Structure 1
Amino acid sequence: MRAVVSRGSLRGMEVRLPVVTDIEYGRRRPLLRVRGRSISWLPPLLLLVAVILLDFNTGEHFRIVTWIVLVPGTAAAMCGVWTTAAYSVVALVTYVLVDNAWPAEYQAGLGDFVLVALGGVLATLAAAVRMRQERQLLRVQDIAETTRRTVLRPLPSGWAGLDHAGVYLAADVDARVGGDFYDIQPGPHGARVLVGDVQGKGLGAVEAAAALLGTFREAGYHEKDLTTVAERLEIRMLRHRAHTAALGRADGDRFATAVLLAFPEDSPGVVDVVNFGHEPPLAVGPHGVRELPCGDGLPLGLADLSGGLPPVHRVPLAADETLLLVTDGVTEARDRPGAFFALSDEVSRAVRADPTRTEPRRLVRQVRDGVLRHCGGRLEDDTTIFAVRRAGAG
């Protein structure tokens, strides 16, 4: 599904959280709001006044008072049940008063009275059905939001001694969560970071992402050797595939690209990188942008095809450099002519113009806005942008 993302839909988003829900569970957002107050009652009222005025100004040979049945119908589409019922009563009473104001030979009569009364009843029932469906939708959205926070848990500021910022935009705007994932795990052996993208979409991709994150949170804390953490992730992906295959599902060959990072406590000037076929991280500093080791290994779940896990690369990282990690929703974003988004060039231009944009929050905002601008807000794939550096590096 292609998602259309506008700046207005991102206005309330905190950068380090993936998504902000537009509708809170148990609360209905009125369709029309002015300065935070609902005015959904106004269109039916204006329609009511318009029908009355037109009926008195069109002459006795063209009576339109029966159109007043549209008032409760309009209210049913925009207002609550009780407001719709109130408009149904008001419309019926108004019909009687306006119709009786005309001479008897020009009155619409009992037939139209029944039509207005029946229209009000049906409008009230329609409003009740609509409100019930909205409540069900709110429950579903609450479940989706809970799932998102389980998979992509909120990360506190300065978590694990790292400055970080991340944004996640799901291509499926109804699901609000997909196969992209990221997390930071503090532990006795230093902070570990995992960013990745599960192949495919839907709930199967969400399940695989949740499985990998659960293993990362445990192994990233307990295991001293980063190679062991990588091995645990590979085994978890294989176990997950075996389980889904045993259930008879068609995603038994699913895999995931990922980047595993470690910030050693005893070596503040380096970072350890294991790349499982993912987009290589970018080290963004005031003096430019450089690419860290590329994905020299296969994705998680496919290590047996290459005879082993990818190696651990120890890479120097300056104190003023920020690591930028993205999923293919960024690098494969296309504009209308079909050109791909040039991530490195975009970031380089931004840093040259303002070196303070290496700060994680500003860097993530820069890339997010650049991607949405490049593709016109139409995302073809889940998009994750994550930036991290040692706390106090700025």
Structure 2
Amino acid sequence: MSHGKGGHGLRDRYPGAVRRDAPGRHQLLRFKGHSVAWLPPLLLLALIPSVDLNTTGDFRMITWVVLVPGIAAAICGVWTTAVFAALAVITYITVDSVWPYEYRSGPADFVLVAIGGLLATLACVVRRRGESRALHMRDVADTVRRTVLRPLPSAWGGLDHAGVYLTADAEARVGGDFYDIQPGPHGTRVLVGDVQGKGLGAVETAAALLGTFREAAYHERDLATVADRLETRMLRHRDHATALGRDDGDRFATAVLIGFSDDAPDAVDAVLFGHEPPLAVGPSGVRALPAGDGLPLGFGALGAGPPPVRRLPLAPSETLLIVTDGVTEARDADGAFYRLGDAVGRAVRQDPRLAEPARLVAFVRDGTLRHCGGHLGDDTTVFAVRRRAGEPLGQRVVPWAAPAAGEGHERGRLRG
């Protein structure tokens, strides 16, 4: 599943990387926007009688017309299948009656064709109901995805950004990877992370961390306080899971917390929670930012103290590239890892425009999927962000305006 810019065309190029929804299987049976799923059974319905009438009486194949509603049941709707079932019976009666009595297939084969059409229609009903359930579950999953990974406006908080998120689970549309941008009075903060494990427990943990980030990143002045709030939320979430008797009470998350501010136009503040350091990608090349010594979220008590906030140089033309394990641990058929830094470096030297977030994310996404043949071993997030030239960072919202002179007493009185 892709999310954000740079995610179009993925299903066509790498079918193994994303799930195919049940109704989506029939998209190939369309011509100029109109369904032609009825065409294969119709051609077969015409072919079988034609062959039967042009062979000898020793080779009768009119009974094969039972295949027509069977094929229709797999690719057509219920009413279309029912029509083909009826046509198969009518065709059988018409063609069989043309032959001399001694060569006719007889009532037994007629019953076979009739029962076959009925069963094909019932099978189509079951298939369509299954597809409806699949669509409903997809809608539910999409709602969860939009809740966890909310859509980000372009130029949000004074930043250019692009993100792609692909789930390793073929039946899932959301997993444990997460990212978000939160502008506020103290600048714009970015969070990218990866929850350990899979399933709904990982999604729940990601949602808890993102909820805390969106509040703390807006209200807290110091990035260290935001980091502390995230660690506390992780511990509280684990305690809650343990109290419920669940077996994921030791879950943790790696993350990268970035702070952009107008006070440091040529730098960013960063806190790394056991995560791979970001890459700074610019027209002049690629460099890895220093690795932090912070422990993953949930393991803070095992360290000597909270992870430090580091101010790292970042030119206005450079883009921060942050990826999760799906990229760094992608393997090819020989078991070799995907060398992200080398691949991006070569591409940027050939085309400096690749440093733009949308182009960079699309390149890393395609390179990862090519390297692993479209078979992802883990949820994969590629996120790129950089400052927008000439735009202020953050977001300053006044909850309510102060009353004008002389209005305070009147506003506070009860009015009859």
SS in 2 for 1:164: strand
Distance 2:137 2:87 in 1: 35
User: Does the 8 Å CA contact 2:162/2:361 hold for their aligned counterparts?
Assistant: yes
Match of 1:146 in 2: 143
Match of 1:3 in 2: none
Counterpart residue type for residue 256 of structure 2: V
The answer on 1:220 being equivalent to 2:217 is yes
Question: Unaligned 5+ residue runs, structure 1?
Answer: 1-5, 14-18
The answer on 1:244 being equivalent to 2:244 is no
Distance 2:226 2:218 in 1: 9
> C-alpha displacement at 1:11, in angstroms?
4.9
| Residue 109 of structure 1, aligned match among 86, 106, 109 | 106
| Residue 97 of structure 1, aligned match among 94, 97, 101 | 94
Match of 1:297 in 2: 294
SS in 1 for 2:383: strand
Distance 1:222 1:53 in 2: 77
SS in 2 for 1:193: strand
SS in 2 for 1:177: coil
Q: Aligned pair count? A: 383
Distance 2:90 2:223 in 1: 77
SS in 1 for 2:170: coil
Distance 2:22 2:42 in 1: 28
Question: Unaligned 5+ residue runs, structure 2?
Answer: 1-6, 392-416
Distance 1:75 1:64 in 2: 19
**Given the superposition, is the C-alpha separation of residues 122 and 31 from structure 1 closer, same or farther in structure 2, using an over 3 Å criterion?**
farther
> C-alpha displacement at 1:190, in angstroms?
0.6
User: Does the 8 Å CA contact 1:72/1:124 hold for their aligned counterparts?
Assistant: yes
**Given the superposition, is the C-alpha separation of residues 8 and 192 from structure 1 closer, same or farther in structure 2, using an over 3 Å criterion?**
closer
Deviations 1:222-255 (A, max 9, x none): 1111111000000000011111111111110000
**Given the superposition, is the C-alpha separation of residues 268 and 257 from structure 1 closer, same or farther in structure 2, using an over 3 Å criterion?**
same
> C-alpha displacement at 1:157, in angstroms?
0.7
User: Does the 8 Å CA contact 1:333/1:340 hold for their aligned counterparts?
Assistant: yes
Deviates more, 1:317-326 or 1:52-61: 52-61
Q: Give TM-score, length-normalised by structure 1.
A: 0.93
Match of 1:383 in 2: 380
Distance 2:30 2:184 in 1: 47
How large is the Cα RMSD of the aligned pairs?
A: 2.2
Distance 1:293 1:185 in 2: 24
Distance 2:390 2:374 in 1: 33
SS in 2 for 1:186: strand
**Given the superposition, is the C-alpha separation of residues 85 and 245 from structure 1 closer, same or farther in structure 2, using an over 3 Å criterion?**
same
The answer on 1:348 being equivalent to 2:345 is yes
The 5-angstrom pairing of residues 15-34 of structure 1 reads 30=27, 32-34=29-31
SS in 2 for 1:379: coil
**Given the superposition, is the C-alpha separation of residues 21 and 337 from structure 1 closer, same or farther in structure 2, using an over 3 Å criterion?**
closer
Match of 2:333 in 1: 336
**Given the superposition, is the C-alpha separation of residues 207 and 314 from structure 1 closer, same or farther in structure 2, using an over 3 Å criterion?**
same
User: Does the 8 Å CA contact 2:22/2:131 hold for their aligned counterparts?
Assistant: no
The answer on 1:67 being equivalent to 2:64 is yes
Q: Give TM-score, length-normalised by structure 2.
A: 0.88
| Residue 155 of structure 1, aligned match among 131, 152, 157 | 152
> C-alpha displacement at 1:31, in angstroms?
5.7
| Residue 166 of structure 2, aligned match among 169, 178, 191 | 169
Match of 2:195 in 1: 198
Counterpart residue type for residue 346 of structure 2: R
Deviations 1:35-79 (A, max 9, x none): 433221111111111211121122112211111111111111111
| Residue 38 of structure 2, aligned match among 37, 41, 44 | 41
Counterpart residue type for residue 307 of structure 1: A
SS in 1 for 2:322: strand
**Given the superposition, is the C-alpha separation of residues 21 and 372 from structure 1 closer, same or farther in structure 2, using an over 3 Å criterion?**
closer
User: Does the 8 Å CA contact 1:320/1:393 hold for their aligned counterparts?
Assistant: no
> C-alpha displacement at 1:33, in angstroms?
2.3
Match of 1:363 in 2: 360
**Given the superposition, is the C-alpha separation of residues 176 and 115 from structure 1 closer, same or farther in structure 2, using an over 3 Å criterion?**
same
SS in 1 for 2:341: helix
Query: Computing the radius of gyration over CA atoms, which structure comes out larger, 1 or 2?
Result: 2
SS in 1 for 2:364: helix
User: Does the 8 Å CA contact 1:245/1:251 hold for their aligned counterparts?
Assistant: yes
> C-alpha displacement at 1:380, in angstroms?
0.6
SS in 1 for 2:184: coil
Counterpart residue type for residue 169 of structure 1: L
Counterpart residue type for residue 158 of structure 1: A
Counterpart residue type for residue 379 of structure 2: D
Deviations 1:93-150 (A, max 9, x none): 1111101111222222222212111111111111111101110111011111111111
Match of 2:207 in 1: 210
Match of 1:318 in 2: 315
**Given the superposition, is the C-alpha separation of residues 205 and 157 from structure 1 closer, same or farther in structure 2, using an over 3 Å criterion?**
same
> C-alpha displacement at 1:280, in angstroms?
0.2
Counterpart residue type for residue 78 of structure 1: I
Distance 1:7 1:356 in 2: 19
Identity %: 67
Distance 1:189 1:319 in 2: 19
Distance 2:18 2:160 in 1: 21
> C-alpha displacement at 1:173, in angstroms?
1.9
User: Does the 8 Å CA contact 2:18/2:167 hold for their aligned counterparts?
Assistant: no
Distance 1:392 1:83 in 2: 58
Deviations 1:127-185 (A, max 9, x none): 11110111011101111111111111111110111000010111002111111100000
